[in-house]
């Protein structure tokens, strides 16, 4: 059961990385420092003072930068691969009691995939916001993404199985919305 919970926590943190790259790593850092989140060996650095300072600073910079309408699109170019990498690292950091080949396979495929799906959804949301409002609503989208990242990361640590169900629902919703966005509604003949 502990292995299943650690996988659920890892996937939740990975999905949160799709919203914001540094927020779930910062929350994992704080949770591990307070004893609420065990880390796998080799990831002890995540609970150190330098990691806390760097992640807090990076989170603050990320939040401010995403509030600037033109800068948010530039950041998406960098954030998309960074979110996948953060998802892999966040999930691997908490998947305890697993053989390394299984941990890294799950972290890369499921963790990176979850982060990539959520990041893709945020890019589409920002694109639609920009097209509809000329970028004026993008700071609201950025606030929603930040809130989603915090909520997802906290839920992943506090109630991992519920968070996993929510992530599954989110992935389904992203698939349906992106399909509709890309292919539009079909007119009936």
Which are the contacts of 94, defined by CB distance < 8 A and separation ≥ 6?
Answer: 6, 9, 10, 13, 28, 37, 38, 39, 40, 43
Q: What are phi and psi of 172, to 5 degrees?
A: -65, -45
Q: State if pTM tops 0.85.
A: yes
Q: What percent of the chain has pLDDT over 70?
A: 94
The full set of domain ranges for the chain reads 2-183
The encoded tokens of residue 188 equal 């009936």
- The C-alpha atoms of residue 90 and residue 95 are separated, in whole angstroms, by 9
Query: For 67-90, what is each residue's pLDDT tens digit?
Result: 887 788 788 888 899 999 999 999
Q: Which two tokens stand for residue 143?
A: 């606030």
Question: CA-CA distance, 175 to 109, in Å (whole number)?
Answer: 17
**Cα separation, 56 vs 52, whole angstroms:** 6
**How high is the pLDDT of residue 181?**
65
Q: What is the pLDDT of residue 91?
A: 96
How many Å apart are CA 37 and CA 154, to the nearest integer?
Answer: 11
Of residues 171 and 158, the one with the higher pLDDT is 158
pLDDT band at 121 (very low <50, low <70, confident <90, very high): confident
Distance between CA atoms of 139 and 59, rounded to whole angstroms? 16
Q: Are 95 and 72 in contact (CB under 8 A)?
A: no
Q: Which residue has better confidence, 95 or 129?
A: 95
Question: How many residues make up the chain in this entry?
Answer: 189
Rg, Å, the chain Cα set: 17
């Amino acid at each position: 059961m502990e292995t299943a919970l650690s996988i659920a926590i890892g996937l939740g943190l990975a999905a949160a990385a799709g919203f914001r790259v540094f927020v779930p790593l910062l929350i994992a850092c704080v949770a591990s420092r307070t004893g609420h989140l065990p880390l796998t060996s080799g990831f002890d650095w995540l609970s150190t003072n330098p990691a806390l300072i760097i992640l807090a600073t990076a989170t603050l910079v990320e939040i401010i930068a995403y509030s600037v309408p033109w800068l948010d699109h530039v950041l998406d170019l960098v954030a998309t691969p960074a979110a996948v990498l953060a998802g892999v690292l966040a999930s691997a950091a908490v998947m305890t009691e697993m053989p390394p080949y299984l941990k890294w396979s799950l972290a890369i495929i499921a963790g990176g995939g979850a982060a990539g799906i959520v990041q893709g959804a945020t890019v589409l949301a920002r694109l639609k916001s920009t097209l509809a409002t000329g970028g004026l609503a993008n700071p609201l989208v950025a606030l929603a993404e930040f809130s989603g990242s915090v909520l997802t990361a906290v839920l992943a640590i506090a109630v991992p199985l519920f968070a996993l169900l929510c992530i599954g629902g989110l992935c389904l919703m992203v698939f349906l919305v992106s399909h509709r966005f890309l292919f539009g509604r079909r007119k009936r003949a």
